[in-house]
Amino acid sequence: MLQSLSAYAGSKGVNLNVTDGAAVKAFIAKANAELGGIDVAINLAGDRHEVKFLEQTLEDWHKNIAVNLTGPFHICQEVIPLMMKKKYGRIINIAGVTPYVGGPPAKSMVKLGIVGLTRGLARE
């Protein structure tokens, strides 16, 4: 049976701050111990704070990057070694259509970053 990190989080009602590397590390360790391994991780966290570019603050900009890019970085850093050890695993990174249809600039930027992260990890 596949052990999905996202299903585990949902079943436990976990509210994880993916921008906090220590919290992610602890969560992954607990999930790995309880599940006996992690086969699938889905990076789907996002920040729905979408404002026009000229209305966006630098704080909003940094939060957007932290949630949408640093969060998946933390998750991948923790699950990839576990998956390599098992010689099996899948990471699903959700980018959506926003950058391709001209959504808010900040959201479009980070979602293309997810595409780059996914392609880079696949090549490695």
- Asked if pLDDT for residue 1 goes beyond 60, the answer is no
Per-residue pLDDT band at 92 (split at 50, 70, 90):
very high
Tell me how far apart the alpha carbons of residues 29 and 39 are, in angstroms, rounded to a whole number. 14
* 62 membership: H or E segment, kind and range: helix 58-65
Collapsing DSSP states into helix, strand and coil, what is residue 87?
Answer: coil
How many Cβ atoms sit within 10 Å of the Cβ of residue 8? 19
Token digits of residue 34: 């309880």
Q: At what angle do helices 71-86 and 105-123 cross, to 10 degrees?
A: 20
How many angstroms separate the CA atoms of 69 and 39, rounded?
21
- pTM to 2 decimals? 0.88
The pLDDT value recorded for residue 4 is 64
